[in-house]
Structure 1
């Protein structure tokens, strides 16, 4: 007799008490062998394993997408809140006529963005020239 499982099963079979017990042992061994064959077939089915892995990765990617969108939305709200706070702080410190003029410019810019951009660029250039003259550079 050997010490492997086949030898142990053979010892059981030899020790069976009657034909009915021997049949039961044979049926049990067949069932175990069928389970083992199914497990080996599942491991050998590379396509099925690849499909299962792809489905798992797809689920993980979907969950990450939801998380990234949620984080982006939260960041957007945070930026919006900070901009609103900054706007209120500026509103409290800027004189009324300047505030009114700035509001009118913003509204005009929303209606006609190109002329406002051109005027803004001109104002930046003019401010730069004035600053250079003020500092003694001609």
Structure 2
């Protein structure tokens, strides 16, 4: 029969020799009391870090608040970016409208009068445009029929 307190007794599965991790280092790796204290302190530190990580993972309310703050920051940044883009687009539109207004100033007065009349009475303008389109379409069809392309 084997005596478990006898140091010459071979290790059994489940005994101290089967341990892994910090406990195995502490039990088998200490070369004196100072080394053992250092290993204990290191193990406590590692255990404290692990407990902090687990506590952080289980703090659902804190994680939700952090996520909400992150989303608020992102939304604020996106709002600033969109406002900047809208302001830039507004300036571009104003600039192009100004250029178009200057270009209209160079159009002869009779043409401007015709455009104003067309805006006041669009039906005759549409009929004239449709008639012109029909004349062009008839000319194209006639040319194709006669062999011209």
Fold conserved between structures, TM > 0.5: yes
Shift of 1:72: 0.5
Count of residue correspondences: 105
Point out 4+ residue stretches in structure 1 off by more than 4 angstroms.
none
Shift of 1:128: 5.1
1 CA distance for matches of 2:24 and 2:122? Answer: 101
Residue 134 of structure 2 corresponds to: none
Shift of 1:23: 1.2
Could you say what secondary structure the match of 2:20 adopts?
helix
2 CA distance for matches of 1:15 and 1:64? Answer: 56
Structure 2 counterparts to residues 19-98 of structure 1, below 5 A:
19-95=33-109
Q: 1:59 to 1:74 in 2, by over 3 A?
A: same
**TM-score, normalised to structure 1's length?**
0.65
| RMSD, matched Cα | 2.7
**TM-score, normalised to structure 2's length?**
0.61
Measured against aligned partners, the alpha-carbon deviations of 1:47-91 in whole angstroms (never above 9, x if no partner) come to: 111111111111110111011101111110111011101100101
Structure 2, gaps ≥5 residues long: 1-16, 129-149
2 CA distance for matches of 1:45 and 1:10? Answer: 29
Structure with the higher helix share, 1 or 2: 1
2 CA distance for matches of 1:54 and 1:9? Answer: 38
